[in-house]
Amino acid sequence: MSERYCVLGNPVAHSKSPLIHQAFAAQTGQLLEYTAELAPLDGFEAAWRAFCESGGRGANVTVPFKQEAFALCDTLSERARRAGAVNTLINGQNGRIYGDNTDGIGLLRDLTAHDVALAGKRVLVLGAGGAVRGALAPLLAERPDELLIINRTGAKAEALARDFADVGAVRGGSYDALEGTFDLVINATSASLSGELPPLPEGLFTPGGVAYDMMYGVEPTVFLQWAKTQKAATVDGLGMLVEQAAEAFFLWRNVRPETVPVRALLRETLTR
């Protein structure tokens, strides 16, 4: 009998998670069912518990419920605790709820897959929301020379930097504080969703610098299009999506799937 998993979100119909996890299951010979489940904006916990009562063993959690998922867990991984958010839930055999956050490790593995080294480098992160909070500890663990968080509300970036100062060299500020050049610039803002470009200066990248956008689409985002005019190499967030899903699959099934063929499958579905 197959076990049930899902992605919980609102909206959720657009999610690629069912395609990704079904591909992982077929590749690894795991018998499971994976669906996209719409949770009411005011009813996330009820939706999760109803899913568990129907035989659900685990879920991915997407916007806007990652903080709510964090709050209902009995046990949290260290990376979830650091992130203050949960994107992977496990319905334990003892009825306890285990929460993890695989976003940061997904980003790091995607950067590694694209041969982007962080040790000794200057890294700029745009945005100070939940995606950044989940990514900071894994990024800082790679020992960049400096990590700068820039946000429209500089105080929010500064507070986030203070929260992670024990992990590595990190500081925060507003766009007005942006100066110098960077080896890696990560766009974690929602600007790409609305086709907007953050207020970035010319000459932001070192020679051979890399621009990474956590968003992805059929066409490069506005940020990546701009980065190309700055002679930067560009990477979108499709690989991060696959890698964070692979980590969740491993947590659920104790089997680590191959991500390269699933990346290719997902890219193909975007260009059809």
Cα dist from 103 to 13, 46, 141, 211, 245, whole Å = 20, 24, 15, 18, 9
Q: What angle do CA 133, 139, 143 make, to 5 degrees?
A: 135
Look at residue 1 in the predicted model and tell me its pLDDT: 63
**Which CATH number do you get for residue 122?**
3.40.50.720
**Please, what are the averages of pLDDT over each run of 10 residues along the chain (272 residues)?**
92 96 98 97 97 96 94 96 95 94 96 97 95 93 97 96 96 94 96 88 97 95 97 98 98 98 96 82
Q: Let me know whether 83 and 202 are in one domain.
A: no
Look at residue 193 in the predicted model and tell me its pLDDT: 77
Question: Distance (Å, rounded) from C-alpha 216 to C-alpha 161?
Answer: 26
Look at residue 272 in the predicted model and tell me its pLDDT: 79
Q: Let me know whether 217 and 244 are in one domain.
A: no
Question: Distance (Å, rounded) from C-alpha 56 to C-alpha 92?
Answer: 10
Question: How many domains is the chain partitioned into structurally?
Answer: 2
Look at residue 52 in the predicted model and tell me its pLDDT: 96
Q: Let me know whether 96 and 109 are in one domain.
A: no
Tokens at residue 190, please? 């929602």
Among candidate residues 103, 266, 131, 111, the one with its CA nearest the CA of residue 183: 111
Q: Where are the beta strands (DSSP E) in the chain?
A: 3-9, 32-38, 56-61, 75-76, 88-91, 97-100, 122-126, 146-150, 170-173, 182-187, 205-213, 233-235
66 included as an active-site residue: yes
173 forms bridges with which residues in the sheet?
150
**Which CATH number do you get for residue 20?**
3.40.50.10860
Contact 192, 222 (CB under 8 A): yes
* From 66, 121, 156, 231, active-site residue: 66
Domain span at residue 141? 104-236
Look at residue 105 in the predicted model and tell me its pLDDT: 96
Q: Let me know whether 77 and 32 are in one domain.
A: yes
